[in-house]
């Protein structure tokens, strides 16, 4: 490994680290397919309804326990785990799920939009993510963008087309600093083709690539940051939409080959 001008560019392709997730997390009969929802309220609701059953847990001295759940849907067993918030946390939870035995993931979450014509709760299928977070640089060599698993995204789009569910596809912008989405930065990202902004897509795509698992991604349009003032568009208005998106992900998951 050669030194670079900036430490984050010093990528090391070595697979084994001093601390490896498989040393901590071992699963038996873990479902191969996992839904990765960023909606804790949905998880709580499904636990309360006894749809989700806890069967593993990521425990830490500094965070609340983060369980992995199992559910049955259309006769198939699916894993469910929430990624937390932000690229490092989400990457760590993805590592947890992979170490337990999950191999295919459907991620669902919300995003800000960089185009005010995209309505609230509209589905966005990200094709690539601009890597302005830091976590992805520890998993794949430096680049401006990273592709979101083309095969998985193609499958998701085919499913949505078959069901006549509307969506748009395009580039997303992954950033660590949601309080630093400045007007000039937003303009710059729009000019390079981004239609959405979130915190985790680039990192999750990088971890999936590094670990050799499949990862599809669906975003729901949330707040609008395209203008000179923030429009929260009732950011958390629709738990109903979040639950619908969860069940859509479940329907897609059981159809994966």
Question: Where along the chain do its domains lie?
Answer: 25-253
pLDDT, position 62: 65
pLDDT, position 186: 96
Task: Please list the ranges in the chain whose pLDDT falls under 70.
Answer: 60-62, 234-239
Residue whose C-alpha is closest to residue 219's, from 165, 146, 160, 168: 168
| Residue 120 to residue 117: CA distance in whole angstroms | 9
Residue whose C-alpha is closest to residue 99's, from 40, 11, 19, 202: 19
List the alpha helices (DSSP H) in 101-200: 150-162, 183-191
pLDDT, position 159: 98
pLDDT tens readout for residues 66-84: 889 999 999 999 999 999 8
Query: What are φ and ψ of residue 35, in 5° steps?
Result: -90, 135
pLDDT, position 1: 78
| Residue 10 to residue 16: CA distance in whole angstroms | 16
DSSP letters spanning 61-86: SSS--EEEEEEEETTEEEEE----SS
Burial of 96 per CB tally in 10 Å (0-12, 13-18, 19+): buried
Question: pTM of the entire structure?
Answer: 0.94
What architecture is the 25-253 domain classified under in CATH?
3-Layer(aba) Sandwich (3.40)
Residue partners of 63: CB distance under 8 A and separation at least 6? 84
pLDDT, position 228: 84
| Residue 106 to residue 83: CA distance in whole angstroms | 12
């Amino acid at each position: 490994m050669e030194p670079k001008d900036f430490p984050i560019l010093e990528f090391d392709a070595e697979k084994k680290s001093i601390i490896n997730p498989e040393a901590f997390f071992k699963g038996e009969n873990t479902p191969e397919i996992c839904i990765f929802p960023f909606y804790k309220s949905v998880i709580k609701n499904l636990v309360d309804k006894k749809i989700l059953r806890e069967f593993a847990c990521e425990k830490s001295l500094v965070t609340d326990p983060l369980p992995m759940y199992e559910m049955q849907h259309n006769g198939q067993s699916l894993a469910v785990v929430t990624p937390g918030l932000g690229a490092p946390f989400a990457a760590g939870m993805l590592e947890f799920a992979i170490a337990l035995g999950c191999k295919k993931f459907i991620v669902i979450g919300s995003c800000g939009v960089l185009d005010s014509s995209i309505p609230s709760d509209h589905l966005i299928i990200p094709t690539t993510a601009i890597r302005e977070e830091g976590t992805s640089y520890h998993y794949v060599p430096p680049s401006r963008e990273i592709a979101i698993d083309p095969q998985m995204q193609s499958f998701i789009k085919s499913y949505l087309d078959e069901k006549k569910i509307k969506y748009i596809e395009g580039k997303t912008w992954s950033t660590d600093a949601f309080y630093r989405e400045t007007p000039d930065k937003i303009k710059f990202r729009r000019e390079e083709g981004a239609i959405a902004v979130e915190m985790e897509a680039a990192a999750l795509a990088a971890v999936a690539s590094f670990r050799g698992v499949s990862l599809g991604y669906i975003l729901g349009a949330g707040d609008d940051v395209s203008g000179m003032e923030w429009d929260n568009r009732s950011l958390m208005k629709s738990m109903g939409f979040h639950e619908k998106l969860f069940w859509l992900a479940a329907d897609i998951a059981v159809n994966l080959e």
